[in-house]
Structure 1
Amino acid sequence: MTPVHAARATGVATITLDSPANRNALSADLVAALRAALADAGADPAVRAVVLTHTGTTFCAGADLRSPCDPADFLALLREIAELPKPVVARVTGHVRAGGLGLLGVCDIAAAGPQSSYAFTETHLGLAPAVISIPLLPRLDPRAASRYFLTAEAFDAAEATRIGLLTLHADPEGDVDAVLAPVLDGLRKASPQGLAATKSLTAAAVREAVARDGARLTELSAGLFASDEAREGITARFERRNPTWAL
């Protein structure tokens, strides 16, 4: 069963992460399927924009800790989203954690429902938000990035919008599709050339960060995952206990 599904309707390609058993975690299979679906959408002249969404209660839980994808493959996915000549719009109705926030951050526009929540959980696992910092640091409020990267605190959609992680969110009684409707209407009316040229401007900082820092941060990520502290942190998570370093 494929972990990603794609559909087309009225100029919009919708790509759905559909691996609820592992909360749409970034397994090798999911990353490969997502890259293929994005390439197909990018090559379709009828597509003006891509909507990236999910089934289940979690948009993406981050790395699949039982079988993580190669950090280089995840970096390639982020690069391909940033370089896709069509805007990518994240539609979130659930939780986003760790590496999933990098996926959210590299999207050109991100909208969420009121029940969504967010957390950079890496430091509690002996890891760091290394590769995902590439698309996020150009977008996030610097003070907020320092706080949430370091503490792993969870925060809500309103805070995610305030710090620049989200573009917009629905009110407590609202609906994410209602707030996205005018966004998608505007994209459908835009010319392919206009969208591609404009995205090259708005995503320039992210693309430059990928080229400058990608190899170094991929190496850092791989080294942390292979460390003793990370093995303890990940084991503790599966055993539902505090890691040995917790005070």
Structure 2
Amino acid sequence: MKLERGIATLTLDSPANRNALSAALVAGLADGLKACAKDPAVRAVVLTHTGNTFSAGADLKAPPSPYAYVELMRQIVELPKPVVGVVDGHVRAGGLGLLGACDVVVASERSDFALTEVRIGVAPAVISLTLLPKLEPRAASRYYLTGERFGLAEAVAMGLVTAPDTDLEAVLDGLRGASPQGLREAKRLLTARVLEAFERDAEDLVQRSATLFASAEAREGMTALFERRDPEWRL
């Protein structure tokens, strides 16, 4: 963790696998967030990355428990300090769930995004907890169903990204000027309904995700991905 004028920076730093969400990466980020929550010197948290990918989604070779990933998203939502996601590159699948959990997200012009789950035979199940409350419904339908890649302009228009990264310093300056109590209580207002969805839907979505990943179609989709070929259902 790096701390500068009240802003703690946590960095996804596993470029060898494009910051895929492995058990180790999820555990490390959870530990960093716990430290930020306890440290009175931390006013807000920036979540960023090394390399050209914020996160490639779940690490299919060393995945975390789905419960651990749900708990990580909830930890970001519940953190009593604002979390600002900073993206300069690619974001795929489960990586978008982290952005949905953040309070503010800024991204560079070269950033791109995709919900690629349908292309390997599964669905964006658990990440719906943080994404669906924030995404414009018609855009969510398109990108959930097609797995298409989209850029910064589309991400801002649909509610995934708050602003271009040129706004980052203004956002951080605003957070530095706000009281800790004010930030905490404002965030509680903003996240109340999302936390209700965690209580209501998390278990069902974890089970649905597990069923999908254990299916024959998902096995074919993941095999095709690793073999760099089209899955058998491709028309």
- For residue 234 of structure 1, what is the aligned residue in structure 2? 222
- For residue 17 of structure 2, what is the aligned residue in structure 1? 22
Structure 1: segments with no counterpart, 5+ residues: 1-5, 170-175
- For residue 36 of structure 1, what is the aligned residue in structure 2? 31
Residue 173 of structure 2 corresponds to residue 185 of structure 1: yes
2, 12, 19: which one aligns with 1:7: 2
- For residue 91 of structure 2, what is the aligned residue in structure 1? 96
- For residue 210 of structure 1, what is the aligned residue in structure 2? 198
TM-score (norm 2): 0.99
Structure 1 residue 151: Cα displacement:
0.2
Residue 151 of structure 2 corresponds to residue 156 of structure 1: yes
44, 47, 55: which one aligns with 1:52: 47
- For residue 86 of structure 1, what is the aligned residue in structure 2? 81
Alpha carbon RMSD of aligned pairs, Å?
0.7
Task: Provide the C-alpha distance between the structure 2 equivalents of 1:131 and 1:160, rounded to a whole number of angstroms.
Answer: 20
In the alignment, residue 117 of structure 2 is paired with which amino acid?
E
In the alignment, residue 154 of structure 1 is paired with which amino acid?
R
Task: Provide the C-alpha distance between the structure 2 equivalents of 1:191 and 1:39, rounded to a whole number of angstroms.
Answer: 20
Structure 1 residue 246: Cα displacement:
1.1
Task: Provide the C-alpha distance between the structure 1 equivalents of 2:57 and 2:211, rounded to a whole number of angstroms.
Answer: 17
Residue 207 of structure 2 corresponds to residue 222 of structure 1: no
Q: Does structure 2 conserve the Cα–Cα contact (< 8 Å) formed by 1:59 and 1:95? A: yes
Structure 1 residue 212: Cα displacement:
1.0
Task: Provide the C-alpha distance between the structure 2 equivalents of 1:114 and 1:84, rounded to a whole number of angstroms.
Answer: 28
Structure 2: segments with no counterpart, 5+ residues: none
68, 71, 80: which one aligns with 1:76: 71
In the alignment, residue 179 of structure 1 is paired with which amino acid?
D
Identity %: 61
